[in-house]
Chain A
Amino acid sequence: MMSIATFFCLPTHVFAATDNYAFVSATQATRFQTLTSQLRCLVCQNQTLADSEAPLAADLRHQIYIKMQAGQTDAQIVAYLVARYGNFILYRPPFVPATLFLWLGPALFLLLAGGGLLFFIRINRKV
């Protein structure tokens, strides 16, 4: 199932990267954890920044940590990363015209197909 194809991640390939950051509060630690697990590591294939052991992921976590200590908001930190790596780094794609169908498509499908089904039963009913 899982012959890993990537080279960068192979050496230690434990999926839990471990840093040793001191946070001012448990809330901030949770914020850090939540934020890094919503960002994509660019080196390792389909891993979150939180889980990746790639050196770049460690650097980026460090940057995020520093910015958090400096009082930056999540939005500011995300903007900093997107300016450098583009939307690719976000596991939650932004809601922009190009992703309109991504976000609304499934709901649209549910409405159309569900409505279509009820309509179909109603007009074809012969009991």
Chain B
Amino acid sequence: MLKHIRPLLPLVIFVFIAVFLWKGLRLAPAEVPSPLIGKPVPAFSLPSLFNLQQNYDQKIFNGEVSVFNVWSSTCSACAAEHDLLMDSVAHTQHIAFYGLDYRDDTEAAKAWLKHYGNPYHLVLADVSGDAAIDWGVYGTPETFIIDKHAHIRYRQIGAIDRDTWQHVLLPLIEQLQHEQ
């Protein structure tokens, strides 16, 4: 019996590999999951883009579900998602919508927001990029969803499209709003 099963072993191994190669086709190898999911937001102290004298810290996330969008005026994918930020995210009820201007020239960033419109309730400026490292940011745009207790619950890598907004982010935000 063994004599007849053993020759099929290579086939079994190949099928095992092929199954995972098949699954691998649907994965996004360049997307790095965040180890910060479920953890409190990292501590920071950053100035507002429009008033560099005034600093804010992580307490701004307390009390309300927040959307935290990392962007930069030099990033073309950020421009691509900007319409959605303007017409959907900015009009969502009972959320705080914050932006983080990442490694950017503050004047260029202000001009950019003037041109495309400013959807954010508050924009923080991270000129050196050091604060973004604490958030595990590795590219722009990235979007974090943060719950009422200032814990990071979700991270979106790359531009948000309408589909993702409707079916992933918005339902999550609504769920978080009902959490105590």
> Which positions in A face B, CB cutoff 8 Å?
8, 42-43, 45, 55-56, 59-60, 63, 82-86, 88-89
Tell me if B's interface is mostly helix, strand, loop or mixed. loop
Tell me if A's interface is mostly helix, strand, loop or mixed. helix
Which of chain B's residues has its CB closest to A86's CB? B35
Q: Which residues of A contact B135 (CB under 8 A)?
A: 84
Say yes or no: A88-B32 contact (C-beta < 8 A), given A8-B139, A55-B103. Answer: yes
Residue pairs across A and B with Cβ atoms less than 8 A apart, 29 shown, are: A8-B139, A45-B30, A55-B103, A55-B129, A56-B129, A56-B133, A56-B137, A56-B138, A56-B139, A59-B103, A59-B128, A59-B129, A59-B130, A59-B133, A63-B130, A83-B35, A84-B35, A84-B36, A84-B134, A84-B135, A84-B136, A85-B35, A85-B136, A85-B138, A86-B32, A86-B33, A86-B35, A88-B32, A89-B32
Query: Is the CB of B156 closer than 8 A to any CB of chain A?
Result: no
A63 touches B133 (CB 8 A): yes
Which residues between 107 and 146 of chain B lie within 8 Å of chain A, taking CB atoms?
128-130, 133-139
Q: Other than A63-B133, A83-B35, give 14 A-B pairs with Cβ distance below 8 A.
A: A8-B139, A42-B138, A43-B139, A45-B30, A56-B129, A56-B133, A59-B133, A63-B130, A84-B135, A85-B35, A86-B32, A86-B33, A86-B136, A88-B32
Bound state CA distance, A99 and B138, in angstroms? 25
Q: Which residues of B contact A85 (CB under 8 A)?
A: 32, 35, 136, 138
Bound state CA distance, A88 and B32, in angstroms? 7
Q: Which residues of A contact B128 (CB under 8 A)?
A: 59
B133 touches A42 (CB 8 A): no
Nearest 10 A/B pairs, CB to CB: A42-B138, A84-B136, A86-B35, A88-B32, A59-B129, A85-B136, A56-B138, A42-B32, A43-B138, A43-B139
Which residues between 12 and 66 of chain B lie within 8 Å of chain A, taking CB atoms?
30, 32-36
Q: B103, B138, B139 — which one has the most chain A CB atoms within 10 A of its CB?
A: B138
Which of chain A's residues has its CB closest to B39's CB? A83
Q: How near does chain B come to A77, taking the closest CB pair, in angstroms? A: 13
Q: Which residues of A contact B35 (CB under 8 A)?
A: 82-86
Q: How near does chain A come to B104, taking the closest CB pair, in angstroms? A: 11
Q: How near does chain A come to B49, taking the closest CB pair, in angstroms? A: 19
Q: How near does chain B come to A111, taking the closest CB pair, in angstroms? A: 16
Which of chain A's residues has its CB closest to B32's CB? A88
Which of chain A's residues has its CB closest to B137's CB? A56
Bound state CA distance, A85 and B129, in angstroms? 15
Q: Which residues of A contact B129 (CB under 8 A)?
A: 55-56, 59
Which of chain B's residues has its CB closest to A116's CB? B6
Q: How near does chain B come to A89, taking the closest CB pair, in angstroms? A: 8
Q: Which residues of B contact A82 (CB under 8 A)?
A: 35
Which of chain A's residues has its CB closest to B134's CB? A84
Bound state CA distance, A85 and B35, in angstroms? 6
